[in-house]
Amino acid sequence: MYVVFLLAMTSARRSIYITNPYFLPDDKMIDTLVATARRGVRVVVLLPGAIDHNLVRQASRSELGRLLEAGVEVYEYRAAMLHAKTMVVDGRWATVGSTNLDRRSFALNDELNLVMYNETVARRLERVFLDDLTRSRQVTYEQWRSRSVVSRFLEFLSIPIRNQM
């Protein structure tokens, strides 16, 4: 799935919409999302507003600055617990499954995703994604930079175990 996700991100021409509760992409995936956003593709990431593992939340938030600076839009879902794992590229390609954007899902866990090149399905998932954004709060670079000392400390504590998440 790692290679499939990277290829999908790299091939995007118009948009990438990602919903993922455990968002801990490695440097290669972050670099790919940054490069994609910088070439004018709208990249939007929807994360949970509340999560069942606070350390994972803090670890995932530590890398948002690079993405936000590059123009990636980040939202936190507020309506309920978010556990969906979807990605839609250009309203034509989509995936739904159990794979998180983290090292555990790509290297250790047994995950299963359905990948579709189908405009009808992809557009439907895109509409659901955009509807979910109406129930979300956008995270700006300024907000991220002004996060609390406690948040920064927890991010720092997560560094040694980030590769295990």
In a domain, 164, yes or no: no
In a domain, 85, yes or no: yes
In a domain, 112, yes or no: yes
Q: What whole-number distance in Å separates Cα of residue 83 and Cα of residue 48? A: 8
Q: What whole-number distance in Å separates Cα of residue 156 and Cα of residue 162? A: 10
User: What does the pLDDT read at residue 103?
Assistant: 74
User: What does the pLDDT read at residue 75?
Assistant: 97
The domain total for the chain is 1
* Pick from 98, 89, 80: nearest CA to 135: 80
Neighbours of 30 (CB within 10 A): 18
User: What does the pLDDT read at residue 35?
Assistant: 98
User: What does the pLDDT read at residue 7?
Assistant: 97
* Pick from 125, 113, 99, 93: nearest CA to 23: 99
Q: Which domain holds residue 116?
A: 2-157
pLDDT beneath 50: ranges in the chain: none
pTM of the model: 0.87
Identify the CATH number of the domain in which residue 132 sits.
3.30.870.10
In a domain, 37, yes or no: yes
In a domain, 163, yes or no: no
User: What does the pLDDT read at residue 4?
Assistant: 95
